[in-house]
Amino acid sequence: MAALAHSTATLRLTVGELRVVHPITVPSAPVPAAEIVPALQGLVNAVVEAAEAGKSISCRKGCGACCRQLVPVSRSEGERLLQVIEAMPGESRRTLAARFAAAEKTIDAAGLKMREGRSDRELSAAYFALGLACPFLEEESCSIHRERPLICREYLVTSPAVLCSGPKQEGVTPVAVPKVSLAARGLQEEKDEWFPLAMLMVWARTRPRKATKRTGPEWVQRFLRGLSSATGRDAPP
């Protein structure tokens, strides 16, 4: 089977006060949106690197307090994560399935399964109070660090890591990173589409099965068109 041809372009973006120059490579042929998620990961990484330049970041491997926050993921990221899980050995998939099932029960018992009637911030605070670890967390470190959600990449702090576990996050000093990840929520739909990462398997059971295909450059253009409005939205912390 012939390998897909790819297109490369250099993006020059102004995101908030940051100036970012980043080469991006995507498939030239029509593909589902999940196929360009790795390119978006690289773009978010470039924005984060620009934002953290000159700062002393406290986040380290083994510090997993932030992995108990509500992590909003887009449909495209969800589809990508399902591919990542499918490629894992059977034992790893079974372990994850059990963790996701336990997370679903905890979230359901707390009455947080539905978003209706709560602002994103209210939902985030209630979720963090559960102390529920991300199903991908292993020994307080992300087991899918290279494939972690876009918004996880954007959360960094300069304050002592121990403060991050506080119920009210008192004294925590996040790095001001533009929330580029928000543009992924409207990539496939004309709406703010997301679900909590811990509910990935719930979403997988009812997710849309029909995948629109566009060329990689078309997906990137679609993402960029939503970037300016997305970075101005109020997002879960």
Establish if 213 belongs to a structural domain: yes
Establish if 235 belongs to a structural domain: no
Backbone angles phi, psi at 169, to 5 degrees: 55, 30
What tokens appear for 141 in the block? 């470190």
What is the rounded radius of gyration, in angstroms, for the C-alpha atoms of the chain?
A: 18
Q: Is the pTM for the entire model greater than 0.75?
A: yes
Q: Which residue's structure tokens are 């121990």?
A: 162
Q: Using CB atoms within 10 A of its CB, is residue 52 exposed (0-12), middle (13-18) or buried (19+)?
A: middle
Establish if 236 belongs to a structural domain: no
Question: What is the Cα 84 distance to its own chain's centre?
Answer: 14
Q: Which domain holds residue 188?
A: 6-230
- List the pLDDT tens digit at each of the 237 positions of the chain: 456 799 999 999 998 889 999 999 999 999 999 999 999 999 999 999 999 999 999 998 888 889 999 999 999 999 999 999 999 999 999 999 999 999 999 999 998 876 667 788 888 889 999 999 999 999 999 999 999 999 999 999 999 988 998 887 889 999 999 999 999 999 997 777 899 999 999 999 999 888 899 999 999 999 998 887 665 444 443
Tell me the residue type at 79.
Answer: E
Establish if 137 belongs to a structural domain: yes
| Three-state SS at 221 | helix
Establish if 56 belongs to a structural domain: yes
Establish if 201 belongs to a structural domain: yes
Establish if 1 belongs to a structural domain: no
- The structural domain count of the chain equals 1
